[in-house]
Amino acid sequence: EIVLAQSPATLSLSPGERATLSCRASQSVGSYLAWYQQKPGQAPRLLIYDASNRATGIPARFSGSGSGTDFTLTISSLEPEDFAVYYCQQRSDWPLTFGQGTKVEIK
Amino acid sequence: QVQLVESGGGVVQPGRSLRLSCAASGFTFSSYAMHWVRQAPGKGLEWVTVISYDGSNKYYADSVKGRFTISRDNSKNTLYLQMNSLRAEDTAVYYCARDPNIVVVPAASGYDYWGQGTLVTVSS
């Protein structure tokens, strides 16, 4: 099973600051990685697919990078609505797995 | 517009069964693979199972293999999850999610639409 390790577990930042979230895979997943955002009481929302492609309707302040085992989700300037939990997911091999999540909270 | 609406959740005793449904609308259901993903209270996301667009291929997480069965009725635009021999650790919100990929693994895209989830509580 491919294990995805997200870091940090919690990121405390202020609106307007830059957020950098990491997702590290236990073995190469190529570019078969997606990022999701989840707010309390809501279903996850797809942000990034294929490691670096923004999903439909996702603002340009969200960007993804990386390949192989190391991936990054960057939010260039945090808006109030961006404070949430973020998950990465690999779709390279069975079973499909998610990282444990990074919570971006208001400092 | 695309809509996925789960139903069938509730409180059930350990060892009993439950069937979840996910009603799809606003798209050609028979053209998409569909997944179930769950989330235990206060925890992260866990992939559970997937079914191909035509129902011919199904895959399961080891944690549910042999106990859960995914199925679909394309004539009714509905996805199902039959859960047998339920355990306390199956307590979670269960989401259905649409997969835009024909080939599920490997696949570049993520799940582009999700339902609102249905809560399953396994407790005596």
Mutate to test the interface with A, among B1, B105, B113, B118 (most CBs of A within 10 A): B105
Q: Which parts of chain A have pLDDT scores under 70?
A: none
Mean of the per-residue pLDDT values of chain B: 96
Which are the contacts of A61, defined by CB distance < 8 A and separation ≥ 6?
A: A75, A76, A77, A79, A82
**Phi and psi for B31 in degrees, rounded to 5?**
-100, 0
Structure confidence by residue, pLDDT tens digits, B37-46: 999 999 999 9
Mutate to test the interface with B, among A94, A98, A102, A103 (most CBs of B within 10 A): A94
Identify the pLDDT of residue B108. 81
Structure confidence by residue, pLDDT tens digits, B75-101: 999 999 999 999 999 999 999 999 988
**pLDDT confidence of B10, banded at 50, 70, 90?**
very high
Identify the pLDDT of residue B102. 79
Residue among A71, A83, A43, A103 nearest B118 (CA): A43
Identify the pLDDT of residue B105. 81
How confident is the model over B47-69, as a mean pLDDT? 96
Q: Which of A42, A92, A98 sits opposite B45 (nearest CB)?
A: A98
Burial of B88 (0-12, 13-18, 19+ CB in 10 A): exposed
**pLDDT confidence of B109, banded at 50, 70, 90?**
confident
Q: Determine whether the interchain pair B105/A96 forms a contact, defined as Cβ–Cβ distance below 8 Å.
A: yes
Q: Does A87 touch chain B (CB under 8 A)?
A: yes
Identify the pLDDT of residue B7. 97
